Amino acid sequence: MAPGAVSGKSKVTIVGSGNWGSVAAKLIASNTFKLHSFHDQVRMWVFEETLPSGEKLSDVINRTNENVKYLPGIKLGKNVIADPDLENAVKDAKMLVFVTPHQFMDGICKKLVGKVNTDVEAISLIKGMKIALEKLSEATVGYRENKDIAETWVQLFTTPYFIVTAVQDVEGIELCGTLKNVVAIAAGLVDGLEMGNNTKAAIMRIGLKEMKALSKLLFSSVKDSTFFESCGVADLITTCLGGRNRKVAEAFAKSGGKRSFDDLEAEMLQGQKLQGVLTAKEVYEVLSHRGWLELFPLFATVHEISIGHLPSSAIVKYSEHKPKSSLVCKL
């Protein structure tokens, strides 16, 4: 029997403990407690930090059963164990749930080499829900070939208020979750410029079109139908209406570009991380490398605004840059 399957039960470890990581821990812990195929206890790796009280965050989570910094006011479940030691947190796991801001993943993966079970299964969480208050939400699990494994993950996450669907399109789902954060920055800029709902809806539509076009250019296997799943249009709507990327971009535009995204992130999010600005830079690099910049004016403009090369108002002027080919329209 594999070490992670003590008494035949799969042990789950969550790698990450921010806002969404803590929500995931709560969801999963409620299921592992009820379902016989999973070990009750869920380990959650915590990037350790010292709170203003002088206590360690992991100690406080274990004492109060609450992530007081990243998800205050919500009980995680007594079977969630916070562990600041990454190696120890993963060593017996049969199922790993990765949920840290993506800029930290390289370092984490390097530390995990040779430390996890050889038959471990892993999932990277997709985006777009505020569900800790148990309001109805959805998510999509992507899989390649093995639908049975996908269904195990669906079982682990599903609750009466959290509907999870398995979709055979890993790349499409990953790219939806990644690219929507860039569109959310654009939507926030429109809010900061006080341009109203029609303009915002137009930006969201164009953003969705660029999301689909870029995903399909990068991976021909990406399915159109994925954009109508929760990970596609639903996630895009929620992030553009109420997310952190939107909120900080709004403040950036309101400051007339005088405040940087880094400053605003630190001030407004108190340790939580923005993904949209870094993603816009990474997308820009890909577009630039492949000679596709003019095919994706919204994505390119978001990056140029975020680094101060263009004013926020450029977000509604970018359509004057005419794409060189009709490739985007064809897609």
Ligand X SMILES: NC(=O)C1=CN([C@@H]2O[C@H](COP(=O)(O)OP(=O)(O)OC[C@H]3O[C@@H](n4cnc5c(N)ncnc54)[C@H](O)[C@@H]3O)[C@@H](O)[C@H]2O)C=CC1
Annotated binding site for NAD(+): 16-21, 47, 104, 244, 273, 275
Burial (CB count <10 Å: 0-12, 13-18, 19+), residue 223: middle
Determine if 26 is a binding residue for ligand 13P (CB under 6 A): no
Binding residue for ligand X (CB under 6 A) from 127, 212, 216, 246? 127
Nearest partner of 166 among 177, 180, 150, judged by Cα: 150
Structure tokens at 98: 């990765």
The active-site residue, picked from 26, 180, 200, 247, is 180
Phi, psi of 124 (to 5 degrees): -110, 125
Contact region with ligand 13P (CB under 6 A), list: 34-42, 190-198, 241-249, 316-324: 241-249
Among positions 242-301, residues that touch ligand X (CB under 6 A) are 272-273, 275
Phi, psi of 240 (to 5 degrees): -75, -20
Determine if 21 is a binding residue for ligand X (CB under 6 A): yes
Nearest partner of 127 among 66, 67, 179, 191, judged by Cα: 179
Residue 147 annotated as catalytic: no
Binding residue for ligand 13P (CB under 6 A) from 17, 22, 32, 181? 181
Among positions 92-151, residues that touch ligand 13P (CB under 6 A) are 127-128
Select from ligand X, ligand 13P, none the partner in contact with residue 184, using the beta carbon and a kind-dependent cut-off of 5 to 8 Å: ligand 13P
Binding residue for ligand 13P (CB under 6 A) from 42, 46, 93, 184? 184
Residue 70 CA: distances (Å) to CA of 66, 101, 201, 255: 9, 13, 30, 26
Select from ligand X, ligand 13P, none the partner in contact with residue 100, using the beta carbon and a kind-dependent cut-off of 5 to 8 Å: ligand X
CB atoms within 10 A of CB 135: 10
The residue type of 222 is V
For 259, which DSSP code?
S
Among positions 40-69, residues that touch ligand X (CB under 6 A) are 47
Select from ligand X, ligand 13P, none the partner in contact with residue 175, using the beta carbon and a kind-dependent cut-off of 5 to 8 Å: none
Cα 159 to Cα 10: distance, rounded to the nearest angstrom: 19
Q: Which residue number, 38 or 284, has a Cβ lying nearer to ligand 13P?
A: 284
CB of residue 178 vs ligand 13P: minimum separation in angstroms?
Answer: 8
Residue 170 CA: distances (Å) to CA of 13, 38, 129, 140, 229: 21, 24, 19, 10, 13
Among positions 255-294, residues that touch ligand 13P (CB under 6 A) are 275
SS3 call for 270:
coil
Q: Which residues bind ligand 13P (CB under 6 A)?
A: 127-128, 181, 184, 239, 243-246, 275
Residues that bind ligand X (CB under 6 A): 16-21, 47, 70, 99-102, 104, 125, 127-130, 272-273, 275
